[in-house]
Amino acid sequence: MKVFISADIEGTAGITAWDEAKKGQPEYLEFREYMTDELVAACEGARAAGAKEVVVKDAHSTARNLILSKLPAYVSVIRGWSGHPDEMMFGIDKSFSAALYVGYHSKAGADANPLAHTLSGSVSRLLINGEVASEFTLNSLCAARYNVPSVFLAGDAGMCAEAETEVPGIVTAATGQGFGPATKSLVPAAAVGAIREGVERALWGHYEMRLPKLPQSFELVVEYTNPTDAYKWSWYPGMEHVAPRMLRLRAAEYFEIQRAIRFIV
C-alpha cells in the first residue's frame, strides 16, 4: 500500500488566529509543531494499516513548515512549490492506493473556522459546477483524476461535514469548531490519537470507491474580493469576465480547471 498525505495547518487542533499560521510570527513555532505531530499520527496510522510507503506534501504557505526530524524513516516529503497545477497534491500519481488530508480547513465564507479561506484571501468564493468549493473539493478531484480515492480528512468540524457529503464513506476526525473569531477544539494529544486511529480505520477494508464524481465537463467561477484582481486575470485564455468581481471558465477536463487556478488565484 502506498499512501499520499496533503498537510495543511489551518485545521490543526487549537489554531485560532492567523499569527499562529504565519512563518515569522512567535506563535507559529508552537503550531508548526502541532501540525507536524498530527501529520506523524496520520503516517503512523497508515503504517499500522499496512502502508509500505508514505509520501507527504507540505501544503501550507511556503510549503516548508513540517519539522523533518520528527517524521518517521519510511516517509518521504515534498517541500516547496514546483509550479505544477496539482499544487497541494503535487507528487500524487496513479501508483498511490489512497489520499489523506490533515490540517484541512473550511472554505472561504464559512463560519466553521476563523481562518476559513480558499487558496487565497483574494477569493471570496470559488465554485465548481455551481457548488462552492473548498481546497479539499479541489484536491479530492485532483486525486480522482489519478483514480486515487480520498479516504481520510482531519480538520475543523465544518470541513469534516462537507468532506463526508462530497466523498461518501470518507473517515474524518474533527479537531475543532469555530465560533466567530473563537474556537473550541481538542487538545493536541487528543487530536493526535483521533487521527492515528481514524487513518488506520480508514485504510482497512474496501475504500477504493471513495472517489468524488468527475463530471463530463467543468465550469469554474471565481468571485474575488475586489474587481482589480478579476480584471487582471480576465486575460487568461478562455476566461469570461462575467461581472466586476467574477470570472468564469468552462473546460472539458478537470486538469484545465487546475491549470487556470494555478494562474488566476
What pLDDT, in 10s, does the model give residues 119-161? 999 999 999 999 999 999 999 999 999 999 999 999 999 999 9
Distance of CA 57 to the CA centre of its chain: 10
pLDDT given for residue 138 in this prediction: 98
- C-alpha span between 97 and 150 (Å, rounded): 9
What pLDDT, in 10s, does the model give residues 69-128? 999 999 999 999 999 999 999 999 999 999 999 999 999 999 999 999 999 999 999 999
What cell was used for 194?
A: 483521533
**Count of beta carbons in the 10 Å neighbourhood of residue 161:** 14
Where do the CATH 3.40.50.10780 domains begin and end in the chain? Answer: 2-116+134-202
Average pLDDT over residues 203-228: 93
Let me know: does 85 contact 261? Beta carbons within 8 Å: yes
Let me know if domain 2-116+134-202 sits in CATH 3.30.450.20: no
- C-alpha span between 2 and 76 (Å, rounded): 11
pLDDT at 171 over 90: yes
pTM of the predicted model over 0.95: yes
Q: Looking at beta carbons, which pairs linking 70-74 to residues 24 or more positions away fall under 8 Å?
A: 70/36, 70/37, 70/40, 71/36, 71/39, 71/40, 71/43, 72/40, 72/43, 72/44, 72/47, 74/43, 74/47
